[in-house]
Amino acid sequence: MNTIEPGMKVTALYKTGKYIGEAEQVKNGKVLVSILAVLKHPKQGDLHNPNQADVPFFHQRKALAFQEKTWSPEHTVKPYEEQVPDYYESLKMSLEEMQKELEQKGDDWSTRSLSELSGLKKEYHL
């Protein structure tokens, strides 16, 4: 088991996104992480009905912002040893990677997700 301590660079999961950040606190089985980069952009849609387009509310899910803080379960937080990429470059790359995956699927959920990601790309100014 990896011991996470304040000041360490870590990877952390939050909902369906994956991030690089700095551990700030460890408390009650959770780690407070300050976001430094995006490894995987969050999936779009309803988390309770994954990959389904025909849901009452299809959520637009933004990536956590630079230096935004989030609590992640300690078991999902791992030490990160590599160079931390630029936040905005990592956001752009993770969004483009998700768009490519969705374009290959071509189903209804992917089409709705691509529409949401297109809006986010504008909002992110990418």
Q: Which band of pLDDT confidence, cut at 50, 70 and 90, is reported for residue 51? A: confident
Average of per-residue pLDDT values in the chain = 93
Burial label for 9, CB within 10 Å (0-12, 13-18, 19+), is middle
Alpha-carbon gap, residue 118 to 93, rounded angstroms: 14
Thinking of the domain 8-124, which architecture would CATH place it in?
A: Roll (2.30)
Ranges of each domain in the chain = 8-124
pTM across the whole model: 0.91
